[in-house]
Structure 1
């Protein structure tokens, strides 16, 4: 402490300096960063560990649309590519006990683990039955949705596997996609048809909706028990009660082709992403909207409405995976196709107002909050894993 300056005055000076820094950062955000190059620059920005420094308060690819986003984003944190090498990365979930991230590489039929301590990446589970969405429940058990076997499983703490759901009213599911655990011990999951294709699962038996002419040999490269199933049901969203009872809570008449889903921090609102048509769909399929439903104490989903159409600047940023922060904001992965600069993540307030975006050089399939403080946003791009630190925390168990 400098002689002659009181502790109160010194703290005041430090506070003023911090405020000035915040104002400078905010001003830079409003003016728009000049450097570094963004995902729409030529040549493209290098997100990798050997790329040029890229943080200039703010990262050029962390964009505040609403001033409220400045309180959620971290101004001096870069968007980083942690790993690449997947064919289609999906379903990231954070293990708070193990301090690792697990995510799926669906076409390669494996689950991959990224370690927080040293960034080591390895295959955690192979084969994974073309698993898609993963999560952890409030007891720390991993939950996985499997395309190939058309089921939802739970990996128990002793290493055994429990089948939570594989049929509804005697019929096989299409291909469970994403799952979220509630505090009451129930699980909510979606069942679109995307696993009914060669690339991410198995085409149905000849004569069924996904293989009507029987020209595709659905048994090639598959275990002998795979190949007889056909698509039997509509797309829908389900709830597994604590006693194991399965209920269809949202049908395709309300949310066609449901994909990612999430619960609000108080678990009174269910969000469901509705994506495009899949194998065997007879209708137009989903239109890339996010729906919201009120959740009753009995576990029903009522009062459905469109939360957002995910249109940003006239561009459809199709949703896929969803994550919720502790303030109730909805973070959605964005698939804008070839509209470079719109792929990545969109962030929406609880009332459906666009707050900000994170741009990635790839389509983002799914996302989750993680890290020891749960303040790091992990994003599964089409072939890579990305992350950025935030000023908020994720809600939920995983």
Structure 2
């Protein structure tokens, strides 16, 4: 079981886990002590198959379904005034609970200080494959969101297997007054079949508007295309059209991002070297954990299908020709300084068949020199790249 915590003023969760052979009362006591020391304490909604190799675990680490749960925020400090549906949040805890009227009574209803969590715990663990588990969890969240929409209120999409919620009996340090997270009502346990039967058939997701994708310059090899496109595509190009906002930029290749639906706080941190995004919140379309730019593009525009995302990037290669400005950026900023020469060799290969290659190569050499490569070393690397491409060019018959 995941029992992560987050220290106030710091980004991300500290992963912690409880094994089945550990006394649950001891686990609860440790969680209470951590919370009393100033940390926000959480618990995973689903059980894990094993302790994850990295982080606090994701959807693939879960083992079937143990419960369904929703998180209903209410208006007030700490929540955005605008939402992705354009509807307001429920104005009070009573209104939030009213959204659940007509559904089976939750096993636990938890007041968090900023809203309510509703848990429907199963009378036994359900061994469900990953695809069905995702569909059921997402469908239950959509069911509650639909009921809220009918009342004119917004509920966040929290239907993901890696969801963690605040642990009752701990303190919510997000709000003034530090409210205690407490169970305010309880009910029976339920069967998976009982709850799943209430989930309406899911409609196909609407097509996304076509996003601008910069064609990768040069090279048809999959790894080369991915590296090129990643070097030429800024994180803002990927995240801002999807509603993410940059909340802090340290001007040294690290930026902090706030997810759609929130006005403050760090939901993810991007890095330029290496080009990865660390996502801390499960309240967005991107999975918690570390993702490459291709992973992010696939998650936002191709339902997580990396192969489809790559084909979108690669499809414009033939018509686009080499993007020399992008190649220069790759030489200068595409990796560690000690590998600048290797990047220059590769970049030179991409322009070797161009009629004006002797002019274009100057821009690549200049980029390498700006990164710290001596001019004579850069010139030799450029020549090596041009000649290696000439040697491998097919011979006409």
TM-score, length-normalised on structure 1?
0.19
Higher strand share: 1
TM-score, length-normalised on structure 2?
0.19
Larger Rg: 2
Higher helix share: 2
